[in-house]
Structure 1
Amino acid sequence: MVKLLAWLVAAYAISPIDLIPDFIPVLGYLDDLILVPFGIMLVLRLVPAEVIQRCRLHADAIS
Structure 2
Amino acid sequence: MVETSRGTSPQAVSLEDEIHLLRSKMEKLFQQENSFTSDIVIEISSLLDLKINEFMRNNRKNK
Superposition TM-score tier, normalisation by shorter sequence: 0.5 to 0.7
> What TM-score, normalized to structure 2?
0.53
Q: Which runs of 4+ in 1 moved over 6 A?
A: none
Count of aligned pairs between the two proteins: 45
Per-residue deviation, 1:49: 4.3
Separation (CA, whole Å) in 2 of partners of 1:11 and 1:28: 15
- Structure 1 partner of 2:13: 3
Q: Distance in 2 between matches of 1:12 and 1:39?
A: 9
The whole-number CA distance in structure 2 between the counterparts of 1:32 and 1:4 is 18
Superposition CA RMSD, Å: 2.2
Deviations 1:2-61 (A, max 9, x none): 211111111121134x6xxx64x73112112201111100111122341xxxxxxxxxxx
Task: Work out which of the two has the higher radius of gyration on C-alpha atoms and give 1 or 2.
Answer: 1
The one-letter amino acid of 1:26's match is S
Aligned to 1:54: none
Task: State the identity %.
Answer: 9
What amino acid sits opposite 2:43 in the alignment? Answer: D
State TM-score, norm by structure 1: 0.53
Match of 2:53? Answer: 41
